[in-house]
Structure 1
Amino acid sequence: MSALAEPKKWERYFWPLVATALFLAVWRYSVLWSHTRIFPSPYEVERGMVELIHQHVLWGDIIDSLRRVAIGFGAAVLLGVPIGLTLGWYPAADQVVNPAMQILRPISPIAWIPVAIILFGVGDDAAIFLIFLGAYFPIVVACINGVSNVPSMYRRAGRNFGLTPAQLLRKVIFPAALPQILIGLRIALGIAWLVVVAAEMIAVDSGLGYLIIDSRNSGKRYDLVVAAMLLIGIIGLILDLAFRRLERIKSVRWGFRNAS
């Protein structure tokens, strides 16, 4: 059976545009047929988004949300990657830490909101802490699994070439585990973007999450609510596409450069 042909270049853009147009058409006519006075039409959402832009608040909210995600996700990467690599490299240490991690990992970051407010008060620190929690555990688990799944023959080959344990981890194990680690980082970034919206509804007074709850409470502006929701989805898509491109570039080129 022959492999499926890859889509042509124009199809990569044409069909998503067709799907978007169909979605907008279904949305518009659903609002018309239901005669709803609450849920806005695409035109009303567009008008609300223009209003936000003219009020010079939209870009500030977007920047605040991205800044919190960058800090929380960055801290999770800086702490989670070394810890995950260490636990994957030393299975005995992983057996000691694993029970506590498996208890904490399923707890939703949203459940930590009261604790975050007690520890950090209402503000950026609480939101960043929640983002950190949401991203930390997927990163650690991805690093542990990535190191554990490296074939043992790689380790034996590295030892035969006289590599020290540190050199073996840096030049052989880490490059081999890098594709799986990058997948974990991508998942963690998506979770961080989800968590920031919920955290901003409670812990701060800016950002896209705050924009949603404030628009709902201030005159029930559901056009602004849906506009903020669409922006969250669009930015999330852009972040995911950017990370996927980085993943394709770095997983092979950077990893095997260090392995050589």
Structure 2
Amino acid sequence: MNSLAEPRKWEKIFWPLLVSALLLAAWHYCVIWTGTKIFPSPLEVERGMAELIRENVLWRDIADSLRRVAIGFGAASVLGIPLGLVLGWYPEADHVINPVMQILRPISPIAWIPVAIIFFGVGDDAAIFLIFLGAFFPIVVACIDGVSNVPSVYRRAGRNFGLSPQQLLTKVVFPAALPQIIVGLRIALGIAWLVVVAAEMIAVDSGLGYLVIDSRNSGKRYDLVVAAMLLIGVIGLALDLCFRRSEKIKSVRWGFRNEA
């Protein structure tokens, strides 16, 4: 059994590295084959990224983007989770508010950029507001669905043990809905990272999104543009992996708690 398990762990590292190497090789030879002078090769992107690091620009932009996502996503979680739990717990309230949510939810956060600039001006507040909008609705919907999908037998069992409605919601329904809520938070975090890049292209003068548009406008530095794009993808992957890891840790701890 051990001999079968070890290659699987090794393959988890080998195959992604192999695919990445093949993509880099294909990128390099496509640039040579087309003879383009505009789109950069991997080596040019590497030199551009080294230039950004030497000029101490890259780390500040990364920090600004992460800070905006943390504030916007955090605010959406603090407000969205309680609201979603309440709406899922009280279907009558959900029937009243749901039409308004269904009207606002499909509107892309990018479409809110002119409104955000009118309300907050050009700066961090506008970008954070857009991130908040992008993350808020997925969190609320995930919480509503999570509470609504909890089997009714759980609620009846809690009432039989004499739990109050508040205790039933916090000690029975919320833990049962937690896996679906975590999935909603993960989706919302991905949306928040997408929105911050778009918002930084218009509403602020720092961050990875601003780096993309500024590199394009100032001298058509497409090596820096592609470098920033790759960083956006790598950081997005890192955020998703961190969230998955924390999700597994929470699931394991919750399993031990239930067994106890």
Q: TM-score range by the shorter chain?
A: over 0.9
CA distance, structure 1, for counterparts of residue 140 and residue 74 of structure 2: 13
Aligned residue number for residue 239 of structure 2: 239
Are 1:105 and 1:137, in contact at CA under 8 Å, matched by a contact in 2?
yes
Equivalent residue of 2:22, what SS?
Answer: helix
AA partner of residue 102 (structure 1): Q
AA partner of residue 219 (structure 2): G
CA distance, structure 2, for counterparts of residue 42 and residue 55 of structure 1: 20
Aligned residue number for residue 65 of structure 2: 65
Aligned residue number for residue 42 of structure 1: 42
Are 1:172 and 1:259, in contact at CA under 8 Å, matched by a contact in 2?
no
Aligned residue number for residue 222 of structure 2: 222
- Inter-CA distance 112–259: structure 2 relative to 1 (3 Å threshold): farther
Give the 5 Å matches for 1:1-260.
8-254=8-254, 257=257
The C-alpha deviation readout for 1:146-200, integer Å capped at 9, x for no partner, is 0000000000000001111111111110000000000000000000000000000
CA distance, structure 2, for counterparts of residue 259 and residue 59 of structure 1: 45
AA partner of residue 220 (structure 1): K
Q: How big is the shift at 1:251? A: 3.1
Instruction: Name the count of aligned residue pairs.
Output: 257
Q: How big is the shift at 1:257? A: 3.3
CA distance, structure 1, for counterparts of residue 259 and residue 167 of structure 2: 10
CA distance, structure 2, for counterparts of residue 6 and residue 100 of structure 1: 52
Superposition RMSD in Å: 1.6
Are 1:176 and 1:255, in contact at CA under 8 Å, matched by a contact in 2?
no
The C-alpha deviation readout for 1:97-149, integer Å capped at 9, x for no partner, is 00000000000000000000000000000000000000000000000000000
CA distance, structure 2, for counterparts of residue 63 and residue 191 of structure 1: 18
CA distance, structure 2, for counterparts of residue 108 and residue 37 of structure 1: 35
Q: How big is the shift at 1:232? A: 0.2
Report percent identity of matched pairs: 81
Equivalent residue of 1:8, what SS?
Answer: helix
The C-alpha deviation readout for 1:25-73, integer Å capped at 9, x for no partner, is 0000000101111100000000000000000010000000000000000
Are 1:175 and 1:259, in contact at CA under 8 Å, matched by a contact in 2?
no
TM-score (norm: length of structure 2): 0.96
Structure 2 runs not aligned, ≥5 long: none
Are 1:28 and 1:42, in contact at CA under 8 Å, matched by a contact in 2?
yes
CA distance, structure 1, for counterparts of residue 150 and residue 60 of structure 2: 44
CA distance, structure 1, for counterparts of residue 122 and residue 198 of structure 2: 14
Are 1:38 and 1:222, in contact at CA under 8 Å, matched by a contact in 2?
yes
Are 1:171 and 1:259, in contact at CA under 8 Å, matched by a contact in 2?
no
Are 1:186 and 1:243, in contact at CA under 8 Å, matched by a contact in 2?
yes
Structure 1 runs not aligned, ≥5 long: none
CA distance, structure 2, for counterparts of residue 252 and residue 155 of structure 1: 24
AA partner of residue 200 (structure 2): E
